[in-house]
Amino acid sequence: MINLILFGPPGSGKGTQAALLVERYQLVHISTGDLFRNEIGNNTPLGLQAKAYMSKGELVPDAITIGMLRNKVETHPEARGFIFDGFPRTIAQAEALNQLLEEEGTQVHALLALQVDDHEIIKRIKLRGQTSGRSDDMDEKVIQNRIDVYKNETTPVFDFYAHLGKSHRVEGIGSVPEIFDRLCHLIDAIDQRSALRIH
């Protein structure tokens, strides 16, 4: 089993790359952003709560996010591994994920951090905002807040896994296939080193 965290600032390409990695390695993809958007689309109480935070570019509170993630993981006992996309975004979420995976007899094997500068991120998100219908992609103030929240609340998660020797930086600028290749090289090296046998 291999469990990977796809990490990086908003709009760094986590969702884009996760979709390709899932195909290549046959892992279960869990995107907390997608799960929240799904709840919002279905007008559920959880969706209503999440919407209030997401529309401002704030993080949804840990208790809500962790509960939702746990439910999702538990619906996939057959998984040969997970790609966590957009989770964990706080130290509390990272600690909860470690505990959850420990209960399942497994662990986080690597955090892959896409490196993309602010200028490129803002360009990408605004471009997506023209078609995504996502209110958090359209307002430059909200986009800037998402970047600030990432820097203040989420970057400590990189250090949390770096202390465990599990954080890796990956250049996130380039074409989608180029970045995919970089990620695959890294994952294959981690696989070989730890004899996880994901192929």
For residues 74-112, one letter each, b for 16 or more C-beta atoms within 10 angstroms of the residue's C-beta and e for the rest, the string is eeeeebebbbbbbbbbbeebbebbbeebeeeeeebbbbb
Short-list 179, 188, 191, 149, CA closest to 19: 179
Angle 40-143-136 from CA coordinates, rounded to 5°: 20
Instruction: Find the length of the chain.
Output: 199
Which of these ranges, 3-11, 104-112, 162-170, 185-193, lies near ligand B4P under the rule CB under 6 A?
Answer: 3-11
Q: Any contact of residue 89 with ligand B4P (CB under 6 A)? A: yes
Q: Any contact of residue 179 with ligand B4P (CB under 6 A)? A: yes
β-strand pairing of 81-85 with 28-31: parallel
Which of these ranges, 38-46, 157-165, 172-180, 187-195, lies near ligand B4P under the rule CB under 6 A?
Answer: 172-180
Q: How far is the CB of 144 from ligand B4P (least distance, A)?
A: 12
β-strand pairing of 110-115 with 167-171: parallel
Collapsing DSSP to helix, strand or coil, 173 comes out as coil
Segment 127-146, which members bind ligand B4P (CB under 6 A)? 128, 136, 146
Which of these ranges, 40-48, 83-91, 96-104, 162-170, lies near ligand B4P under the rule CB under 6 A?
Answer: 83-91
Binding residues for ligand B4P, total number by CB under 6 A: 28
Residues found near ligand B4P in the complex (CB under 6 A): 8, 10-16, 32-33, 36, 53-54, 57, 59-60, 65, 86-87, 89, 93, 124, 128, 136, 146, 175-176, 179
